[in-house]
Structure 1
Amino acid sequence: MGYLHSFLDRLPTDYQSLLSPRLKDPKWVHLLETIQEQEELARNTHPNSIFPQYERVFFALAATPIHQIKVILLGQDPYHSPGLAQGLAFSVPDQIMPGSNLFPSSLRNINKALTLEGFAPLSNGDLSHWADQGVLLLNACLTVQSGLPNSHVAFGWNTFTDALIQDLLNYLSGTVVMLWGGFAHKKEVFIQPERNHLILKSSHPSGLGVYKTKAPFLLPKDAGSCNHFTLTNSWLRQHNRDPISW
């Protein structure tokens, strides 16, 4: 049970309460213990090359308490280059500026979309101000090894976050769910129509996928965007909630 307690102690109390009914299932307990054990083993085997830092793994949950959630924006796994992952999907530390070579292509295209929709571009790569306003920036896999994308998928992170997403969407109502890219689109199965969530789908904003699919994140030649930021704020106003200051 030591691994289970270690895992649960890292979760904010509101998320612990949300997930507590699942702890009656021995398979669920085993899953959490396995994730904790595998993560600790990875960090012992590869010191300083597992991202984000241990204390930042659940930062997205700490930054956006359940009662504040207005938007859920799903990523796949943390940035695998040193100095980028900070525990928030798509976000990087504030010292990484848009003109920097370290500024990820996803954030470059998010900046383009913001500008096309009439919002101010990001001044740096830190999206903490989104999280503070109720945008849950959740990666499906919460850790990664340096230089190896998706290297920790086998730990069981996706099973954990799938359950978390499902429980959140069954608990909340009127939430905006942004699904960018084919991986995120698969999470639509967790969204119950009766909960009145707004589903916004597009291609992924990364350099490889931004213009692809019938619902591109950006139109060819940057002629327009998917308008997700505008649609989100319109939805929030319609439901008497403060819009996001993107």
Structure 2
Amino acid sequence: MPAFAPGGAAARACAAVDAERAAGHVVAPSPERVFAALSLTPLEAVRAVILGQDPYPTPGHANGLAFSYVGPPPLPRSLVNLYKERAEDLGVSGQPDGDLTRWAQQGVLLLNTSLTVREGASKAGSHLAIGWREVTDEIIATVSRERPHVAFMLWGAPAQAKRALIDEAKHLVIASAHPSPLSARRGFFGSRPFSRANAWLEGQGEKPIAW
């Protein structure tokens, strides 16, 4: 488990997930991918945070990086909307795949407020109360405290609930609706998060992110 995930809270959440699996529920992502975001983007590398709600509940979609998808077409609809906004914002055409590892490798922490979910239709949000809130609270608070200049993108109500954990005197916060088809037109489209984050990072003397 990556070092800046709080041990006790993480252990309790993992135990709750183990109990879910023991009860016969299929949980995503696979156990070795639960902390993938923290492994790919360690604390000392974080320059931006994209905070969503929870992993994709569709079987085979979640891979431990928020909004990322590795698999055959079609892409998850939230990711399609994310790419649509990026195209409008930056003029960048859609990717041939949904793998966002390249963002993580540039210092973008692709985090969800809940790190797991039950797989299946209508299971979105099923692990929001399982114990991950304390874990991701500490992750966000640690990034805010330890990193000098971070662009935080908070997408959806569960993500925006963590805004109070962020020191806005030194960090940028871009809060909007979630890119889900249920909410993207209520404030995600037109929010221009990618260009705003890059402009702010460059103003702090940081490299822009190749979105």
TM-score by length of 2: 0.91
The answer to whether the 8 Å contact 1:80/1:145 transfers is yes
- Quote the RMSD (CA, aligned, Å): 1.7
1:143 aligns with 2:120: no
SS in structure 2 of the partner of residue 81 of structure 1: coil
The equivalences for 1:181-192 within 5 A come to 181-192=156-167
Which residue of the partner structure matches residue 94 of structure 2? 121
Which structure has more helix as a fraction of its residues?
1
Larger radius of gyration: 1
1:242 aligns with 2:207: yes
Change (3 A) 1:217 1:180: same
The equivalences for 1:43-62 within 5 A come to 43-46=21-24, 49-62=26-39
Distance 1:162 1:240 in 2: 28
Aligned-pair identity (%): 37
SS in structure 2 of the partner of residue 154 of structure 1: coil
Which residue of the partner structure matches residue 110 of structure 1? 82
Which residue of the partner structure matches residue 96 of structure 1? 72
The equivalences for 1:3-22 within 5 A come to 11-13=1-3, 15=4, 19=6
Counterpart amino acid of residue 200 in structure 2: W
Alpha-carbon shift at residue 238 of structure 1 (Å): 1.7
The answer to whether the 8 Å contact 1:87/1:142 transfers is yes
Gapped runs of 5+ residues in structure 1? 1-10, 24-28, 219-224
Alpha-carbon shift at residue 96 of structure 1 (Å): 3.3
The answer to whether the 8 Å contact 2:51/2:113 transfers is yes
The answer to whether the 8 Å contact 2:57/2:119 transfers is yes
Moved over 4 A (4+): none
Q: 1:133 aligns with which of 100, 103, 106?
A: 106
Distance 2:83 2:182 in 1: 16
The answer to whether the 8 Å contact 1:96/1:125 transfers is no
Which residue of the partner structure matches residue 196 of structure 2? 231
Counterpart amino acid of residue 109 in structure 1: N
Give the paired residue count: 208
More off after superposition, 184-193 vs 129-138: 184-193
More off after superposition, 117-126 vs 53-62: 117-126
The answer to whether the 8 Å contact 2:81/2:180 transfers is yes
Alpha-carbon shift at residue 175 of structure 1 (Å): 0.4
Which residue of the partner structure matches residue 41 of structure 1? 19
Of structures 1 and 2, the one with the larger relative CO (CA 8 A, separation 6+) is 2
Gapped runs of 5+ residues in structure 2? none
The equivalences for 1:50-89 within 5 A come to 50-89=27-66
